């Protein structure tokens, strides 16, 4: 168990993609069903579904490994005004990994302009807060001469502001998004007497770097009752490996979605979704690691629920992921 804990602790250091002393914040939460909750990374998505849309998602990563990441998020957005060019949204994300807990709370604003008879371009702005907790007492396994041992006091709800931007181009059949959820690079420090892990008289606890996201997807009708919906997400963070997700989903009878995904050099996934009604959709995804970490866990699980409120029986006629 100690070997597994050391591996997990090292991963918690690396997970954010910025190798620094001490524990630091995990990078933005990871999702397999990213095509259903793009608002968490792109504020320009707010209002683009044309109705009030609420999404809840829970992810258990590396199941069976103590202290592994778990993520819960809830988001909502809607167009406002008679022209429906303005969109408003909100996000609440709770992310936990080993001895760190992070909470993201933000508000999204978007403005959409038509670019052609079929295309629209949305500009988005995100503003909010990031709260960081570090519970060093949970790292007691590392106190007996182990590396990374620390006698730091716990960190409780350390605040840092967040400002993000995004672009989102879409039609009824395709979309392309580019976003940076947080433009501010925040470095967290704490007073310390440990000269090996300090800058001056402060210990470097956490650093949040900009994450660049590129998302895209398209709908290909293969018949009256079958549609092919490929999607991709590319994430770039300085100091971290390039992350590329490739997803292939098939929609049957406008109700059942079946698909598979590949996360470059990380995992393969299976996805299933079901449109219970015009208002409600459920989804599930399972990831199997392709790295050496697979021998220490039982995979990752992800569930989501989307609920939408249509006005005057209005509904989105072209089913899509965005």
How far is the C-alpha of 32 from the C-alpha of 49, rounded, in Å?
20
Residue 156: per-residue pLDDT: 82
Rg, the chain, Cα only? 21
DSSP for residue 44: G
Long-range own/partner contacts, residues 75-78 (CB < 8 A, 24 or more apart): 75/37, 75/39, 75/40, 76/52, 77/39, 77/45, 77/46, 77/47, 77/49, 77/52, 77/53, 77/108, 78/46, 78/47, 78/51, 78/52, 78/53
In terms of Cβ atoms closer than 10 Å to its own Cβ (0-12, 13-18, 19+), residue 53 is buried
The residues, any chain, with a CB within 8 Å of residue 8's CB and separated by 6 or more, are: 65, 66, 67, 68, 98
Residue 154 in contact with residue 139, Cβ under 8 Å?
no
Give the alpha-carbon dihedral of 62, 65, 69, 70, to 10 degrees: 80
Q: What string of pLDDT tens digits covers the 322 residues of the chain?
A: 444 554 554 444 444 433 333 334 445 778 999 999 899 999 999 999 999 999 999 999 999 988 889 999 999 999 998 888 999 999 999 999 988 899 999 999 999 999 999 999 999 999 999 999 888 777 665 555 554 545 667 788 889 999 999 999 999 999 999 999 999 877 655 544 444 444 455 555 556 678 999 999 999 999 989 999 999 999 999 878 899 999 999 999 999 999 999 999 999 999 999 999 989 999 999 999 999 888 999 999 999 999 999 765 555 544 455 6
Neighbours of 235 (CB within 10 A): 21
In the chain, where the domains are located: 26-184+206-309
Residue 66: per-residue pLDDT: 84
* Cα–Cα nearest to 99, from 147, 144, 141: 141
How far is the C-alpha of 131 from the C-alpha of 113, rounded, in Å?
34
CATH of domain 26-184+206-309: 2.40.160.40
Residue 215 in contact with residue 232, Cβ under 8 Å?
yes
Residue 134: per-residue pLDDT: 86
DSSP structure string for 280-297? EEEEEEEEEE-SGGGGG-
């Amino acid at each position: 168990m100690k070997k597994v804990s050391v591996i997990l602790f090292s991963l918690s250091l690396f997970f954010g993609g910025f190798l620094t002393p001490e524990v630091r914040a995990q990078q933005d939460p990871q999702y397999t069903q990213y095509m259903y909750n793009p608002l968490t990374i792109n504020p320009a998505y707010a209002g683009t579904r044309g109705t009030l849309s609420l999404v809840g998602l829970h992810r258990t990563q590396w199941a069976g490994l103590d202290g592994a990441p778990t993520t819960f998020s809830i988001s909502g957005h809607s167009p406002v005004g008679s022209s429906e060019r303005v969109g408003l949204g909100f996000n609440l994300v709770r992310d936990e990994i080993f001895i760190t807990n992070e909470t993201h709370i933000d508000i999204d604003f978007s403005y959409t302009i038509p670019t052609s008879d079929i295309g629209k371009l949305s500009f988005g702005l995100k503003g909010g807060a990031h709260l960081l907790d570090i519970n060093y007492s949970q790292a007691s396994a590392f106190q007996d001469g182990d590396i990374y041992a620390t006698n730091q006091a716990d960190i409780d709800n350390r605040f840092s502001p967040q400002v993000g931007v995004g672009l989102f181009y879409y039609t009824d059949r395709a979309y392309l998004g580019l976003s940076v959820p947080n433009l501010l690079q925040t470095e967290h420090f704490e007073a310390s007497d440990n000269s090996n892990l300090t800058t001056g008289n402060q210990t470097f606890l956490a650093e949040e770097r900009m994450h660049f996201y590129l998302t895209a997807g398209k709908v290909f009708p293969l018949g009256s009752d079958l549609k092919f919906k490929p999607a991709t997400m590319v994430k770039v963070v300085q100091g971290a490996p390039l992350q590329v997700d490739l997803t292939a989903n098939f929609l049957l009878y406008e109700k059942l979605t079946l698909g598979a995904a590949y996360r470059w050099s990380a995992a393969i996934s299976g996805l299933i979704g079901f449109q219970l009604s015009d208002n409600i959709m459920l989804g599930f995804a399972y990831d199997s690691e392709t790295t050496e970490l697979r021998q220490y866990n039982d995979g990752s699980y992800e569930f989501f629920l989307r609920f939408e409120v249509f006005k005057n029986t209005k509904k989105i006629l072209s089913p899509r992921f965005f």
